[in-house]
Amino acid sequence: MSDELEFRSPRPGEAGPFFTPVLQSFGDQPSRADIDQNRSVWEPERCHGALDGDRWVGVSGAFSLEVTLPGGASVPFSGITMIGVAPTHRRRGVLTTMMQWLLDDAEQRGEAAAMLTASESSIYGRYGFGVAAQAASHEIEVDRAAFRDHLDVPGSFTLLPLADALDVVHGLWERCRAGRVGEVSRQRSRWEDELLDREQHRHGLSALFLVVHEGPDGPDGFATYRQRNIWGTETHRLPETRVVLDTLCGTTRDVEAALWQYLASIDLVREVEMPVRPVDDPIRWRLVEPRRLKVTSISDWLWARLLDVAAALAARSYSAPGALVLDVVDPFRPSAAGRFRLEAGGASEGDGASCTPAPEASPDLTLGAEELGALWLGGVAPSVLAAAGRVDEHTPGALALADRMFPVHPGPFCNTMF
């Protein structure tokens, strides 16, 4: 082991050695298929890592993505991914150095924010990332999935061969995500890879199914899912198939409900498992027996940190008019700290949001970069963070005003892991 580590981006032909540390950090010994899969979607110029001699011991990367903000704007961000450090080189500052490079690179590209989906919730707060969106895991027995009211959604369902699905799902996804705060774009290369349905993606489940709902004006929603088939003497010859949802999106809430109902009506299926769904999913309120929709977990999902505070806060709309001076504390990235005057016209008055540096102004609220990242998409009320000791109010009434301005309904949701 050398005393000095070299940090740089991978060169052509280094994909295999470069990806090895991140895959090993998740407990895998990478195969050629694993490496080919990562190479098919990576952006080499956005990758950075650490070498000990001629061996990669730390890797990181980013995707060029967009996210839907409150108000409907879609803005570019750095999608941090592929973070891994070899177990032999932990606690040597490798992750910190790579993160500094990734955030510098994002800022140079003009991206006002970076986001990620975290493997552990204890890691990224120290780098200024806050929980911007949560996700719930649901499951239900299909014989308990009756709707309160008849669902009349015109159209039909088609099971589409994966080889014919790329243009349909790529286009539909962009239409669907435009209506959901927190949802992110998916590159065409990612869809191409997912529709190859590689064996390592199945995790003991069936091959991938893709159903499309076609309304009067064409396709307006789709779902991808797998099945866990159990059939035999151990079940007394009773069907025990479980549907495991991957992605579900519709251009309207009724189309989403129709897709959900389709999954619950597949022959021989006993249970439907939905691992990543909104915490405030309205499906529960459609059911005759709402308690039968079991929440098996609620977890942090999408983490955000702002790089250009003024640009990021001005890009979204706000639920109520108001003006606040925010004092942002950011030890990891002091260039993003400071005082900012946020002025918003409110949803009923159009966009009308502005945010500018205000170094001489008296602050109404003080908060850290992690807390600001949590507030950005509107998924948590500022007063909740204040009650947890994470936001300080200096001007009486400022927290109540911030509570009216920041949160959004429905809350932010991201069905995409990256």
Q: Report the DSSP pairing between strands 269-277 and 130-141.
A: antiparallel
Helix residue ranges per DSSP H, 196-300: 253-264
Query: Phi and psi for 412 in degrees, rounded to 5?
Result: -65, 150
The token pair that represents 223 in the structure block? 């779902």
Strands in 218-228's sheet, in edge-to-edge order, are: 6-8, 48-52, 55-68, 74-85, 113-117, 294-306, 130-141, 269-277, 241-250, 218-228, 209-215, 156-159
Judged by phi (left if over 0) then psi (alpha if -120 to 50, else beta), residue 346 lies in left
DSSP string for residues in 222-238: EEEEEEE---SGGGTT-
The whole-angstrom separation of Cα 114 and Cα 305 is 5
How many CB atoms lie under 10 A from the CB of residue 289? 12
Contact 368, 330 (CB under 8 A): yes
On whether the CB atoms of residues 295 and 325 are closer than 8 A, the answer is: no
CA distance 273 to 294: 10
Q: Which of 153, 159, 168 shows the shortest CA–CA distance to 253?
A: 153
- Rounded to an integer, what is the distance from CA 3 to the centroid of its chain? 37
Could you tell me if 139 and 272 are in contact, meaning their C-beta atoms sit under 8 angstroms apart? yes
Q: Residues with catalytic annotation?
A: 124, 418
Inter-residue contact 371 to 385 (CB < 8 Å):
yes
